Amino acid sequence: MTIADIDPAALWLAAGLALGIAELLVPGVFLIFLAIAAGVTALTAWAIPELPVGLQLAEFAVWSVACVMIGRRWYRDFPVESDAPVLNAPTLRLRGQIVTVTTPIIGGEGRARLGDGEWPVRGPDANIGTRLRVAHVDSGILLVEPIGNGD
């Protein structure tokens, strides 16, 4: 018995199962879409046994692209909730932090201490020791603003 003697539907089904198992072993939210495409191709190969291999491969390619695009849209519409939404965005974590001016801010530029480091800052003119809040970070420069009255 050679591979040519095996039913194409069975081969596609085996490929789909192998891809599904691979997704379970190494989850990456990608192989499952290829497994679905292989399953649909298996159904077509079962329904139309005389379908040429070239058309089966083309169908698999089309279904793969369609499934991946649908999957990407689905994951974009249902984002993962996180306890630390800025975990991988270090500059976003700096927003709202309080800095202390170490070099006077004159003409909108100076330096300030944040944690154990000193950063270049832009903001309103301020003397040494003035406490300001980080409003934004732009290319490694802290954009600061005065602390509100309630703080």
Q: What span, in angstroms and rounded, lies between the C-alpha atoms of 119 and 112?
A: 5
d(CA 58, CA 15): 15
104-145 per-position pLDDT tens digit? 999 999 999 998 999 999 999 999 999 999 999 888 899 999
- pLDDT averaged over 10-residue windows placed end to end, the chain, 151 residues: 77 92 83 93 92 92 92 71 66 86 94 93 94 91 83 50
In the chain the domains, ranked by start, together with CATH numbers, are 3-77 (no CATH), 97-146 (2.40.50.140)
